[in-house]
Structure 1
Amino acid sequence: MRGRVLSIFLATPVSILSLEVEVTNAYLHGKTRVLIDYANMNGPYLGIVVPNLYEMNPLLQHPSYKANKFVIEFQGRKFRFGTIGNRKAILVITGLGVINAGITMQLVLALFDVNTVVHYGIAMNANSSLSIGDVTIVRYWAYTGLWNW
């Protein structure tokens, strides 16, 4: 697959980040290549990247999400396929932390025909006036790691 430019939206209860990334498909062969090619014949998809199952379960159980039985397991990640409303979607769990999110995001972009990616989770914030579900646009960003508080 030739390179393409995608708009990516990283959304948490406290931030939205929009950027463009040039993507080229990874070189694969065998059963995995066949499954990915099959999936991409039905694209493009909305990519949904979530840190853990706790945060993905509300989406999996929501009536607007319709799962299909097609799943691809690759590099320790399970790529679930379905629809949200009338949009085809790929859902994947990243694991905690920026490094896991980056690796998973790269896999989604390199392997699949996606035109939008949404990353969401229960990020923390330092502004007590914000509530769950609020969306803000960040002015400053700090990575504090996976500290135990």
Structure 2
Amino acid sequence: MTREFQGYNTSSAANRHTRDRKCQGIPTSELNRKGPDIGLITVFPPEEDAFFAISAFKPHPLHPFVDLLGRRFLVGKINGKKIIYVRCGIGMVNAAAATQQMLDFFDITGIVHFGIAGNVNNSMSIGDVTIPKQFAHTGIWDWLNPNAKLNANNNIGQLDIESYNVPKGHGSNLLGHIVYNSEPFFSETGEPNSAQPLLWAPISEHWLKLAANLEDLSLEQSVNSTLFLERKPKLVVGLKGSTANIFVDNAAYRDFLFQAFKVSSVDMESSAVVMLGQNGIDIFGSLAATNAAKAVITFLQHL
């Protein structure tokens, strides 16, 4: 179980024509006229609670929130920097929708997703924070007929279900094989309706360089006076992460992801999201969320 947050630089010119739409009687252009904001996104209440418990976020004195299409976007500042915050909800569809709403209605210079993530790298431990350099969408698979032969071209990720039979190597398995299929990616720099296969989505290099200044950050080690970690958590920049609408609480699949994609964390929203076993989140979930929030707030000081 690790903590994870990602930074995505964005274009502040995206869909400006929609930003004058009135929300709760407040034109969003009024909120945007003093320059761009930094977007912050968490996923579920424990992450949000930990973020606000640090008390770094100061609400806008006149317009502390805007309700848009079922979500409440909070408006304020952290260390003098203008912030738009929203809790998106679990899943990639929710994450994409909340991110698009934020870009459509506000003047956003960059977005940080943060929260609790699952750990698939044995060099990482509970309480650690990871800031990945790139992400793979590991939820797109071709499930083959059990008698189908594996294509040598699908050499990124091939999962042979039969290899996990117990006892190992005993008999055949009707689940057969699944092979990874890269996501088709449409870009404003590419030709219209001409998608390119995408395996790794990179994070802003500039933000990663700034994040490297956080590696000496002192993170929380204890939940309370009787529950604490045996070693001090660390912050690591530059590993790889994976995202899929799959809650991973399975050691065999975790090991497969690490071996096939060399990822260190897994989440469900291509940002830092809950992806850990029930016991782990019950015991150390609050510490996980606190360390993620602490890392994000410190990172904002370097922007």
TM-score (norm 2): 0.40
Are residues 26 and 130 of structure 1, via their aligned partners in 2, closer, same or farther at CA, if it must alter by over 3 Å?
A: farther
Structure 2 CA distance for aligned equivalents of residues 45 and 15 of structure 1: 18
Match of 1:136 in 2: 132
Q: Which structure 2 residue ranges, 5 or more long, are not aligned? A: 140-243, 250-303
Moved more, 26-35 or 108-117: 26-35
Bigger radius of gyration, 1 or 2? 2
Write the letter of the residue equivalent to 2:132. T
Are residues 19 and 67 of structure 1, via their aligned partners in 2, closer, same or farther at CA, if it must alter by over 3 Å?
A: closer
Which structure has the higher relative contact order (CA within 8 Å, separation 6+)?
A: 1
Structure 1 CA distance for aligned equivalents of residues 19 and 4 of structure 2: 37
Tell me, yes or no, if structure 1 residue 123 matches structure 2 residue 117.
yes
| Higher strand content, 1 or 2 | 1
Match of 1:74 in 2: 68
Are residues 115 and 130 of structure 1, via their aligned partners in 2, closer, same or farther at CA, if it must alter by over 3 Å?
A: same
Tell me, yes or no, if structure 1 residue 145 matches structure 2 residue 139.
no
Match of 1:25 among 11, 16, 30: 16
Structure 1 CA distance for aligned equivalents of residues 93 and 136 of structure 2: 20
SS at match of 1:63: coil
Seq. identity, %: 24
Structure 1 CA distance for aligned equivalents of residues 22 and 248 of structure 2: 41
Match of 1:84 in 2: 78
Q: Which structure 1 residue ranges, 5 or more long, are not aligned? A: 1-11
Superposition CA RMSD, Å: 2.8
Q: Deviations over 1:41-60 (max 9, x none)?
A: 23311110111221122222
- Aligned residue pairs total 138
Tell me, yes or no, if structure 1 residue 106 matches structure 2 residue 100.
yes
Match of 1:42 among 28, 34, 41: 34
Tell me, yes or no, if structure 1 residue 54 matches structure 2 residue 154.
no
SS at match of 1:95: coil
